[in-house]
Structure 1
Amino acid sequence: MWRCLIISNKELQINEEIRDREVRVIDSNGGQLGIMPAAKALELAYEEDLDLVKIAPQAKPPVCKIIDYGKYRFELAKREKEARKNQHIVEIKEVRLSLNIDVHDFETKKSHAQRFLKEGNKVKVSIRFRGREMGHPAQGYEVMRHFAETLVEIANVEKPAKLEGRNMLMFLAPKPAK
């Protein structure tokens, strides 16, 4: 036989759901009304045509507030939406170089990396070694070092160049704004 137990309830208890004998009550203006029986607090809420909401269930005695629950939920959702809007998700953008990259191609890749870093994203720089290029990893390290040096004003090397199989990888992160 399975029994379902509610470990934590995200929703707040309102009105008749409040089963405590005594509660500390705060009115709609934020003033303390003191400790009173839950039934009397519920009566006060109904007189004002508002809801009794348990906001601090872990307190002794629990704290309830007389508020408009619908308006409260709307304000809460609005604040959460605003907080999400102000967040910036850092993405990892990739720039692929080759072992014998030409000057113009190098400058193009550098400008792409600069744009990614200015947007606040991290940049993964990679070189794929093909065929006999595997015999010259020092050239790959040199290309990576030169690429990192050209971006030293706007980027920090988060992970230095490292050869992993046929690929050499390096991660750059934007410098924090001052």
Structure 2
Amino acid sequence: MSMEQLTKQTAGVINAVTKQPKWDKDTLYAGIQKILIEKREKAESDEAYLEMLLNNAAFYIGHTNGMNNFLFQSIDKETFYSPDSFKVYLSNLRTMISDPAEIQKIAERQRAFVLKGETVEEKARHGELAYMTTKIVNDLLLDFLTTFYHPNNKEHMQPFMEYSAKVVVETVFKFCNTYASLQIDAIPGKKDLH
């Protein structure tokens, strides 16, 4: 199959996934805003809030990378894992990524990107946008993979197995990032998030 077909197939799955009510733009934004407000209220200082945003973005980055690895292995081995296998993998992944040392490692690599800016306000704005983007990408990839590994979808997902694992993972990840960017760009007054 051609790249055009892979792109079309990926777009079809993403489109089906994002028709769920939780992916409605207003619902999605309201949910994330609520989480950000709760995080801000829990933080003892601006610096603690920035660290919380950085650590949460680091968690999502690590979690997304782990799911990408799972998809890579699946395509590479031309194996459809059961939903239960995927759940076990996710549970193990969450445990590994939740390890403070692992979070710290990812956070330090991402610090300059997530907390860009000169002032606390600029850093918070960038941190909130990074948090939202990494959360949306992670959640969308999770929904994509849950759909991918659903036993009723095996026949529809079979064409993905005809590509290299690297190409499939890059294509799916690109779609998730593009969708997240479109959602973030649609936020009214996104410059004044906090």
- Which TM-score applies when normalising by structure 1? 0.21
Structure with greater proportional helix content: 2
Larger radius of gyration: 1
Which structure is higher in RCO with an 8 Å CA cutoff and minimum separation 6? Answer: 2
